[in-house]
Structure 1
Amino acid sequence: MNEGTVIDRRGAIVGAGAVAAGAMLGGAAAATPGLHAIAATKGRAFGTCLSWSPKGADAGSLANPRYAALATRDCGIAVPENALKWQALRPSPAAYDFARFDAILRDAERAGMRMRGHTLLWHYDRWFPKWLVDHDFGKAPAREAARILTQHIRTVCARYAGRIYSYDVVNEAVDPADGSLRSTALSRAMGGAEAVLDLAFRTAREAAPKAELVYNDYMSWEAGNEKHRDGVLRLLAGFRTRGVPVDALGVQSHIGVFAPTDSIERLVATLSPDWRAFLDRVVGMGYRLVVTEFDVRDRGLPADIAVRDAGVAAFAKGYLDLMLSYPQLRDVLCWGMTDRYSWLRGFEPRPDGLPTRGAPYDASFRAKPIHAAMHAALAR
């Protein structure tokens, strides 16, 4: 992401016109159908990530009754925020810890939610468990690396057969700096990243033949993402050339307003052509689309909450209107429903130290203008 989009008060007021319904907070949201119910009228689905917590904890989990009430009203699908990643699931080469994800899945199924799986392989040394980065692959490194990878995917898919309908098989394999494929402990052992990624998808298809298989990444529509987008296009084209079974591109959609602008609408119009050209090439290769981790980074927006919320809502609606214009897009998921538990608060705090406000509900569980904007986009 590039640094810097602040909107002034005049620009925010202009943007607010497109989402006037967002002025009705809290109880007004409860008086209208939830986001998933609206999406379902168009043959789509809406959901969110879920964390694990002990029962009653103040956390973004279904074990928290207050959050469960909010999430189950708006969401028909779910994805684990962290509990299915290797760092959480596989503490050592020989051990798996399924307890937390089992609890998330059980609660989601009781709530009538379908489950996505995130992720079978986060292809990035930074997010590998330490034991994998340091692993001694021995005298036949390619064979050992393949064994570890296939064992992991087969174990997870077998355990949750029929209960996970879509997997982010590979996450973030493209380096945004130059569009190349990341080098990891596995790719170094196997002689290249393509061999790792192809094996991951082919193993997933064998182990979960009815599941949707997704390549997931955070390339975005803002300026500065050109090399990242180009790298993803090369990867997707290579999958098709090599006959790798990939069904969809997961578009994380951690979008954001980063630099000064006097009009959100003009900013959206500026970003849209290159982004649409990218999406056209993706669907032109026969891929579906999934919005997997939607939220809005507001670090450039002013402190004033009314102005900031209006800017976030207008930017979100412009983005979702574009994404939802593609019939290849069926599922839209937020990366958390409330600012109270948003990952952005710790990962990317605002320069002024104020809490971020990029989720549909604020920290007190009140619906914000972005909720109304999302509702309007899904209804269209």
Structure 2
Amino acid sequence: MDKDFTLSRRAALAGMAAMPLIGCGGASAGTAPAPISAPPPAAGPAGVPQPGLHALAAKGGRKFGSAIASSPGNPAAGSIQNAAYTAIIKGECGLVVPENEMKWQALRPSPTAYTFDRMDEIVRWAQENALAVRGHTLLWHRPQWFPGWLNTYDYGANPVREAERLLTEHIRTVTQRYKGIITSYDVVNEAIDHDRNAPIQTSMSRAMGSPEAVIDLAFHTARAELPDAQLVYNDYMSWEPQHLKHCADVLRLLEGLKKRGTPVDALGIQSHIEMFAIDPATGVGPYAEREWRRFLDEVTGMGYRLLITEFDVKDKALPANIAQRDEKVADFARRYFEVMYDYSAHLDDVLAWGMVDRFNWLQGFDQARRADGQEVRGTPYDSQYRAKPLRNALATVITAAG
């Protein structure tokens, strides 16, 4: 869901000029740097348990990773400029994904300009530290997360052709820039209108005739540019009872993609799991395990792979006591990951949406705010960069899965 992209930051990004990508190893401007691979396990920095989560996940053929930002001039953010934060990322992760820096709001200040500065910074930093990079996202198909100009864009006398040109140019520009570096993309993110139980309408879908036309073109364009990449539809459903309707909507979308031959390889399950109430039988949030397994069975039965793309935990219903709350967060996450790892034959990479509480987007998300005003403690490390029971619960499940 990752809705922490602020208007002030959007304005700042829009004012930056585009810069050429500078690769490692002396690659010249405009030349894609060489592909990177996951680093071998190494001794971690002080305070980061070893082996790290990525080293544990790699035994099962997966990468463990996290979202990260770039915040030039601000070394106190969840970004590559923060040495304490990057120590955790380097100790725990083999993979990073840009938190906001690849979204249209960040890359496209206007129909004719691109600002790759901050995305390039993340890629350079990842290469310097032998970390793989995922792409997020080539199209966030929701009007509120379009740049303002795209919502009011004049598609002219031939709107279908102009919308197709705009979308394909964007996807080609981004994927060509990072070809050989990024091999897994969230091609389309959150495309469902839950009031209509159908894909959402945008300026682009109205120009092209339907949301499905936009979604299909995005995936076909990405496949043409990256024939061997993993192309992912990413959405925020998870296993709570309140998400059952959302799961049904996602299944319909995936079924339609399959019937139309749209080249989608995997479903990205954001996994922003939530405790907005407490089930007295378990002491943690209610979860619909049987229905969730049925959903995963349907998805994998259609041939789609699975990724956990944006994991964190909403702890709104838990007590204020930190020790008690951390244990319940860990327990709830352990239960969820045990179910997900039951699908290990279909499960690929696992990513947290940030590793330290203070930088996690949930701190600014109204639906996650706690009535007592305390921080949401939904990531593996607390705001003092200390590993929490949640980190240990993840390590336990990943280790058990092999």
Q: TM-score, normalised by structure 2?
A: 0.85
Deviations 1:133-161 (A, max 9, x none): 00011111111111100000000011111
- Given the alignment of the two structures, is residue 160 of structure 1 paired with residue 210 of structure 2, yes or no? no
Contact 1:36 1:46 (8 Å CA) reproduced: yes
Indicate which of 79, 87, 96 corresponds to 1:78: 96
Distance 2:196 2:339 in 1: 26
Distance 2:46 2:225 in 1: 45
Match of residue 271 from structure 1? 288
Distance 1:312 1:178 in 2: 33
SS of 2:192's partner is coil
- Structure of greater relative contact order (alpha carbons < 8 Å, 6+ residues apart): 1
Distance 2:48 2:143 in 1: 43
Match of residue 84 from structure 2? 66
Contact 2:97 2:135 (8 Å CA) reproduced: yes
Q: How many residues align?
A: 355
Indicate which of 316, 319, 322 corresponds to 1:299: 316
Query: Tell me, which stretches of 5 or more residues in structure 2 are unaligned?
Result: 2-44
Match of residue 359 from structure 1? 379
Deviations 1:13-41 (A, max 9, x none): xxxxxxxxxxxxxx996343100001111
Match of residue 234 from structure 2? 216
Contact 2:277 2:285 (8 Å CA) reproduced: no
Once the 2 structures are TM-superposed, how far is the Cα of residue 175 of structure 1 from its aligned partner? 2.1
Residue type at the aligned position of 1:306: A
- Runs of 4 or more consecutive aligned structure 1 residues displaced over 6 Å after TM superposition: none
Contact 1:177 1:228 (8 Å CA) reproduced: no
Match of residue 330 from structure 1? 348
- Given the alignment of the two structures, is residue 368 of structure 1 paired with residue 380 of structure 2, yes or no? no
Distance 1:220 1:256 in 2: 9
Indicate which of 194, 200, 205 corresponds to 1:182: 200
Distance 1:100 1:257 in 2: 34
Indicate which of 95, 101, 115 corresponds to 1:97: 115
Contact 2:48 2:92 (8 Å CA) reproduced: no
Residue type at the aligned position of 1:231: D
More helix by share: 1
Once the 2 structures are TM-superposed, how far is the Cα of residue 75 of structure 1 from its aligned partner? 0.2
Match of residue 264 from structure 2? 246
Once the 2 structures are TM-superposed, how far is the Cα of residue 83 of structure 1 from its aligned partner? 0.2
Q: TM-score, normalised by structure 1?
A: 0.90
Match of residue 275 from structure 2? 257
Using the TM superposition, name which of 223-232 and 88-97 deviates more.
223-232
Distance 1:193 1:262 in 2: 42
Residue type at the aligned position of 1:325: D
Deviations 1:222-277 (A, max 9, x none): 11212211111111111111111000000000001111323437856x52100000
Deviations 1:196-240 (A, max 9, x none): 000000000011222110000001211121221111111111111
Residue type at the aligned position of 1:354: Q
Distance 1:237 1:310 in 2: 38
Match of residue 146 from structure 2? 128
Residue type at the aligned position of 1:353: G
Distance 2:156 2:48 in 1: 59
Distance 1:120 1:128 in 2: 12
User: Residues 79, 266 of structure 1: CA spacing in aligned structure 2 closer, same or farther, 3 A cutoff?
Assistant: closer
Distance 2:363 2:395 in 1: 24
- The percentage of counterpart residues that share the same residue type is 54
Distance 2:177 2:235 in 1: 25
Deviations 1:297-342 (A, max 9, x none): 0111111111111110000010011111112111000000000201
Residue type at the aligned position of 1:205: R
Contact 2:284 2:328 (8 Å CA) reproduced: no
Distance 2:48 2:137 in 1: 33
Distance 2:374 2:397 in 1: 28
Distance 1:113 1:264 in 2: 38
Contact 2:284 2:332 (8 Å CA) reproduced: no
Residue type at the aligned position of 1:156: V
Query: Tell me, which stretches of 5 or more residues in structure 1 are unaligned?
Result: 2-26
Distance 2:143 2:49 in 1: 46
Match of residue 326 from structure 2? 309
Distance 1:325 1:191 in 2: 40
Residue type at the aligned position of 1:317: R
Once the 2 structures are TM-superposed, how far is the Cα of residue 179 of structure 1 from its aligned partner? 2.5
Residue type at the aligned position of 2:371: P
Distance 1:193 1:67 in 2: 39
Residue type at the aligned position of 2:142: Y
Residue type at the aligned position of 1:73: G
Deviations 1:88-132 (A, max 9, x none): 010000000000000011101111111100000000001000000
Once the 2 structures are TM-superposed, how far is the Cα of residue 188 of structure 1 from its aligned partner? 0.7
Distance 1:167 1:308 in 2: 34
Distance 2:69 2:335 in 1: 29
Once the 2 structures are TM-superposed, how far is the Cα of residue 284 of structure 1 from its aligned partner? 0.3
Once the 2 structures are TM-superposed, how far is the Cα of residue 372 of structure 1 from its aligned partner? 0.3
- Given the alignment of the two structures, is residue 171 of structure 1 paired with residue 189 of structure 2, yes or no? yes
